Structure 1
Amino acid sequence: MLFALHAYAIGERGPFFYNQRMQAELRSLFSTDVDDLASYAPGETFCLTLRAVVGPVDLPGEESFDFELCSPAWLAAEVEREHLVSGRFHLFMVRFDFTAVERYVAKRIAQATGTDWPEIATKLARWSRWEFEDYVELPPKR
């Protein structure tokens, strides 16, 4: 008996997973600004970049999704200074609480389902910067 082994890229589940839903999971959450989020205690005004490393449940592969976690006081100061501020890729909380942030992000990621990884990543990219959001694959050189 001959078996063919095929490695599937992230988002490609192969013929045995036909018509099944894929679900995302949070693999890690960290800041590019702060080393120890568990003990981080900013004042009333804060804004920091967080990176969620996300992959499909029970499958290999993961990708990064970044967002800013800011306080309403930070937003008020930015609006006062700039007069107009975009809220895309920003989450807001009054007092920094990493456990609450981690729980919220994990729940939101777990709610992202789809038939393949690109569908899930597109849903997550509605509220976070997907590392491949504007990626365009160039045609192979001849």
Structure 2
Amino acid sequence: MIPEVKGIFLIDFSSSECFVPDDPSDFGVALRVMIGPQYQDAADSLRFTVCSPAWHARECAVDGFVWRWDILIVNEYSRVEIGKIIERVVSRSAAPTWLQIAEQMSRRSNWEFDTYT
């Protein structure tokens, strides 16, 4: 099974095109990415933060550390480049079942069904 990106949104589901940081080299934004099986309408939600090294350093300075698995760090904000990175990572997560794909992606993000048992 091959996953594909169905949409990239701000965490509140507004378009990611709405976000333009004041400083492209110092930003942090929470994203929601909808992914699903290629050629199907179904999709699951993944949440993570995309940030710059400067934003990450400032977050680290608050407590002296940051302990999160759901952060993508890029040097500068570019909606197009961030979209390409996300698509590349998602497309490399092919697996025999959707659950295996979701498990792979949940290592890098908060999958909407992470806490379901």
Using the size of structure 1 for normalisation, the TM-score is 0.74
1:59 and 2:5 equivalent?
A: no
Tell me by how many angstroms 1:36 deviates.
5.2
Q: Match for residue 30 of structure 1?
A: 9
Provide, for residues 77-115 of structure 1, a one-character-per-residue CA deviation record: whole Å limited to 9, x for no partner.
111111111131000112110000001101111111111
- Flag the structure with higher helix content: 2
Provide, for residues 39-63 of structure 1, a one-character-per-residue CA deviation record: whole Å limited to 9, x for no partner.
6133243211001100001233110
Tell me by how many angstroms 1:35 deviates.
4.6
The answer for unaligned runs of 5 or more in structure 1 is 1-21, 137-142
The one-letter amino acid of 1:28's match is G
| CA contact 1:33–1:49 (8 Å) conserved in 2 | no
Counterpart pick for 1:77 among 58, 73, 81: 58
Task: Please provide the CA RMSD for this pair.
Answer: 1.8
| Rg larger in structure | 1
- CA shift in 2, pair 1:104/1:60, >3 Å: same
Give me the whole-angstrom Cα distance separating, in 1, the residues matched to 2:76 and 2:13: 16
Structure 1 stretches of 4+ moved >3 Å: 33-39
| CA contact 1:71–1:95 (8 Å) conserved in 2 | yes
